[in-house]
């Protein structure tokens, strides 16, 4: 199997152990992301769990396009789930339910049978930049953001539909359904074309006040309400279809919890649901979010508002450029010419990623981060504006390109990589300040693969100028899906109670205090950033 297609599974079951969970009921959290699907089976009565993962490429067939092959994604869903179900059965247990998390903002056209007519346009797809730019220029963007909670940006399905309206109106009308990644996965498992409140609230098409598709926005983009899936509660329990049950070794009708988007579920899985507690996640992208009781859209237009449940809403901001900047730095500065995965930024071609094994990737990243740690804080005046992908919060300006500013002869690869890390951290700090204005924060819980690096930890804590509570958590979003299932199935009375039931699976946490010297250096970088962004805009216009 291709190295990109699967990752080693992890299980807490001892090798050769005799059925440790005889009769136990297991909940599976399914986390379908941008480049991989992970299935996490959790036993509520012990610390046992099993993790299976399958990967797929994020395709970039032409500039501005960032898509997934729906068939590859659904094959990964089946592969991860089938492996996990087999592990549960080997342990002598049974699967009680599957709960689904997916990446947000995807869009795919489906035919009458639910088969894809297009590739799935992901959050990273920026082909609708012109449509988003037009809405901002006309002033319509402010009202659209206020009513939907979704900033006007190429990430949103709303602007993507506007692109289809301009570029392929025949397909816009012909598609039976316009759906998201969650809807695609739910149809694959249950045979029903439906969506849920969380994913719908991130589409730009939903009216937050009515919790229904907004007729005025549908008129704007040129689709009918009948072309969009029905919106269910995130706690809705569906039944597994016979075909899916047969593929996966499960029973027909097994509860499938509709679930929520990956961002809100990341907060739930990390326990960042109490007032004043923010969740900061940093993987390929990054985000800062806090949970509030009712929809809230800030007047400044800098934050999103998405549902977790009817009574819990997540306000925050996501940065497109998180760990992907480190990946770019690894490919650019961390490999000798011709090494696997190397090249101009490791871009993903129409045929997918060509790269080395996971072990090679980890080793290359460690080398590059060790190199970056040798550069001084502030990088001797070098600043990177890390807009490699169309950036989101807090500026929501997809037209800004990335840039190194202040480059001098004495700057080498170490400076350039560290400046990239510092640039991302400053963006996350700006989002944190915006969230703090909505709900004063007393704790930030940080999760994500990037925090395996001590440099990332130190730089982010310094940029935020506040302590972080860091969880060594790789399965937080899937655990959030499991917690939501416990609420949906009546095993918990509220979200906090559902999280408490997963105490045996809570990762160890450790506080990280900001270094005063680093804080001072990053304060200087942050102070210069607004002026640098302002100066970059006319340069970007000249570049076209």
* Contact in structure between 529 and 426 (CB atoms under 8 Å): yes
Q: Is 4 part of any domain?
A: no
pLDDT at 364: 83
Residue 248 included in any domain: no
Rounded CA-CA distance 141/122 in Å is 21
**Cα gap 126→148, rounded to integer Å:** 20
The DSSP annotation for 39-108 comes to EEEEETTSS-EEEEEEE---B-SSTT--EE-HHHHHHHHHHHHHHHHHHHHHTT-EEEEEEEEE-SS-BE
| Residue 1 included in any domain | no
Q: Is residue 126 part of a domain?
A: yes
Run of H or E residues at 7: strand 7-11
Instruction: Please give the structure tokens belonging to residue 434.
Output: 């915006």
Which CATH number covers residue 111? 3.30.420.40
- pLDDT value, residue 13: 53
The verdict on residue 171 lying in a domain is yes
Has residue 376 been placed in a domain? no
Asked, for residue 137, whether it belongs to a domain, the answer is: yes
CB atoms within 10 A of CB 275: 12
* pLDDT on residue 472: 65
pLDDT score for 204: 98
Give me the domain span that covers residue 145.
104-232
Total structural domains within the chain: 1
Q: Which of the residues in the chain have pLDDT under 50? A: 1-6, 14-15, 336-357
Residue 194 lies in a domain: yes
User: What is the pLDDT, as a whole number, of residue 508?
Assistant: 81
What's the distance, CA 474 to chain centroid? 13
Q: Which helix (H) or strand (E) holds 327?
A: helix 323-333
What is the Cα–Cα distance from 44 to 505, expressed in whole angstroms?
A: 9
pLDDT at 238: 98
């Amino acid at each position: 199997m291709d190295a990109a297609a699967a990752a080693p599974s992890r299980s807490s079951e001892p090798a050769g152990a005799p059925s440790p969970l005889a009769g136990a009921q297991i909940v599976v959290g399914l986390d379908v992301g941008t480049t991989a699907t992970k299935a996490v089976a959790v036993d509520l009565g012990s610390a046992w769990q099993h993790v299976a993962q399958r990967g797929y490429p994020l395709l970039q067939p032409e500039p501005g396009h960032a898509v997934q092959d729906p068939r590859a994604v659904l094959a990964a869903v089946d592969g991860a789930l089938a492996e996990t179900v087999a592990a549960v059965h080997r342990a002598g247990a049974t699967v009680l339910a599957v709960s689904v998390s997916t990446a947000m903002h995807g869009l795919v056209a489906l035919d009458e049978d639910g088969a894809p007519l297009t590739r799935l346009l992901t959050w990273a797809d920026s082909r609708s930049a012109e449509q988003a730019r037009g809405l901002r220029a006309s002033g319509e963007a402010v009202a659209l953001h206020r009513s939907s909670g979704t900033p006007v940006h190429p990430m949103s399905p709303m602007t993507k539909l506007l692109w289809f309206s301009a570029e392929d109106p025949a397909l816009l009308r012909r598609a039976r359904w316009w759906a998201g990644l969650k809807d695609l996965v739910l149809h694959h498992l249950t045979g029903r074309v439906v969506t849920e409140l969380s994913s719908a609230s991130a589409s730009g098409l939903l009216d937050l006040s009515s919790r229904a598709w907004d007729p005025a926005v549908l008129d704007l983009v040129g689709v009918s309400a009948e072309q969009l899936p029905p919106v269910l509660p995130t706690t809705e329990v569906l039944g597994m279809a016979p075909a899916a049950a047969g593929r996966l070794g499960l029973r027909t009708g097994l509860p499938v919890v509709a679930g929520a988007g990956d961002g809100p579920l990341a907060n739930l899985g990390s326990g960042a649901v109490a007032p004043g507690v923010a969740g900061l996640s940093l993987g390929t992208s990054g985000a800062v979010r806090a949970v509030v009781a009712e929809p809230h859209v800030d007047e400044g237009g800098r934050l999103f508002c998405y549902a977790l449940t009817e009574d819990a809403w997540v306000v925050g901001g996501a940065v497109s450029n998180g760990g992907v900047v480190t990946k770019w730095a690894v490919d650019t500065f961390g490999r000798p010419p011709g090494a696997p995965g190397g090249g101009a930024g490791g871009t993903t071609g129409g045929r997918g990623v060509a790269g080395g094994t996971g072990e090679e990737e980890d080793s290359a990243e460690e080398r590059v981060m060790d190199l970056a740690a040798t550069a001084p804080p502030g990088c001797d005046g070098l600043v990177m504006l890390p807009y490699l992908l169309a950036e989101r919060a807090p500026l929501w300006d997809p037209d800004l390109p990335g840039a190194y500013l202040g480059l001098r002869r004495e700057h080498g690869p170490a400076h350039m990589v560290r400046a990239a890390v510092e640039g991302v951290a400053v963006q996350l700090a700006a989002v944190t300040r915006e969230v703090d204005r909505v709900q004063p924060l007393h704790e930030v819980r940080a999760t994500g693969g990037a925090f395996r690096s001590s440099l990332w930890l130190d730089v982010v804590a310094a940029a935020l100028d506040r302590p972080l509570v860091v969880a060594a958590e790789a399965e937080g979003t899937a655990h959030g899906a499991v917690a939501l299932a416990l609420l949906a199935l009546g095993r918990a009375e509220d979200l906090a109670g559902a999280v408490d039931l997963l105490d045996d699976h809570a990762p160890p946490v450790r506080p990280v205090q900001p270094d005063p010297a680093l804080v001072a250096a990053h304060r200087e970088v942050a102070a210069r950033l607004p002026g640098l962004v302002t100066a970059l805009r006319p340069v970007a216009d000249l570049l076209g």
